[in-house]
C-alpha cells in the first residue's frame, strides 16, 4: 500500500464525516422556520452550508485518489507501507466511530443536563424546547451510527475500499 492509497482512504473517511456534519445544518432549517415563522437569513445559510458539505462529501468520496495525489507527492512504487489497505481502513473507521461517539455523547448529556435544570416537575423530554428535541434526535442517530461504525468496522472498511477487501 502506497502513502497515496493511505491518504485516499482517509479522504473517503473524511467524506463520511462531512456527510454526517451536513445533517446538523440541514436539520436546523425546520427548527428555524418553526421558531420565526418566516424565512430568515440563517435558514438560507444553513441550507448553503449543509449543501456545500454534501457536495464536498460526494466529490471526496468519488475522487479520493485525485485529492491524495495532490496532497502527497508521487513516490516510487517500491515505497510501500507494511499496513494493508483493509487494516488501515478498519482502524480509520474505528477511530472516526470513537470520535463521533464522544461528540454525540457529549451533546446528549448536555441536552439532558440543561433540560434537568429547567424542569421543575414532569418529564424531561416534555420540558425540552423543540430545537433541543431535534438536536437530541440527531445526536441519538449519530450515537447509533458511531456504535455501528465501531462494531462493524469490517463492513465500512470494505465499503470505503469499494468492495476490494485485502485482509493480508
| Dihedral over Cα of 64, 65, 66, 68: its sign | positive
Residue 86: per-residue pLDDT: 81
Residue 165: per-residue pLDDT: 44
- pLDDT > 90: what percent of the chain? 9
Residue 8 grid cell = 485516499
More confident residue, 33 or 67: 67
Residue 142 pLDDT exceeds 70: yes
68-123 pLDDT tens trace: 888 776 666 565 667 777 888 888 888 888 788 878 877 777 777 666 666 566 67
Residue 43 pLDDT exceeds 80: no
Mean pLDDT of 45-71: 85
How much is the mean pLDDT over the chain? 76
Mean pLDDT of 6-30: 79
Q: How confident is the model at residue 168 (pLDDT cuts 50, 70, 90)?
A: very low
Q: Cα separation of 9 and 13, whole Å?
A: 6
Q: Cα separation of 20 and 160, whole Å?
A: 15
Q: How confident is the model at residue 25 (pLDDT cuts 50, 70, 90)?
A: confident
Residue 30: per-residue pLDDT: 63
Residue 33: per-residue pLDDT: 62
Phi first, then psi, for residue 149 (nearest 5°) are -65, -35
Distant-in-sequence, close-in-space partners of 116: CB < 8 Å, separation ≥ 6: 124
Amino acid at each position: 500500500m502506497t502513502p497515496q492509497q493511505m491518504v485516499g482512504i482517509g479522504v473517503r473517511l473524511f467524506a463520511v464525516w462531512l456527510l454526517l456534519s451536513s445533517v446538523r445544518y440541514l436539520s436546523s432549517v425546520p427548527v428555524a422556520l418553526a421558531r420565526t415563522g418566516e424565512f430568515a437569513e440563517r435558514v438560507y445559510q444553513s441550507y448553503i452550508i449543509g449543501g456545500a458539505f454534501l457536495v464536498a462529501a460526494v466529490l471526496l468520496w468519488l475522487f479520493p485518489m485525485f485529492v491524495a495525489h495532490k496532497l502527497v507527492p508521487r513516490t516510487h512504487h517500491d515505497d510501500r507501507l507494511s499496513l494493508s489497505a483493509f487494516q488501515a481502513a478498519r482502524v480509520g473507521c474505528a477511530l472516526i466511530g470513537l470520535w463521533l461517539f464522544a461528540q454525540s455523547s457529549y451533546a446528549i448529556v448536555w441536552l439532558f443536563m440543561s433540560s434537568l435544570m429547567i424542569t421543575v416537575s414532569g418529564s424531561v423530554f416534555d420540558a425540552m424546547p423543540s430545537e433541543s428535541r431535534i438536536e437530541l434526535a440527531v445526536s441519538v442517530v449519530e450515537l447509533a451510527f458511531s456504535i455501528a461504525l465501531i462494531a462493524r468496522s469490517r463492513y465500512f472498511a470494505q465499503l470505503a475500499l469499494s468492495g476490494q477487501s485485502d485482509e493480508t
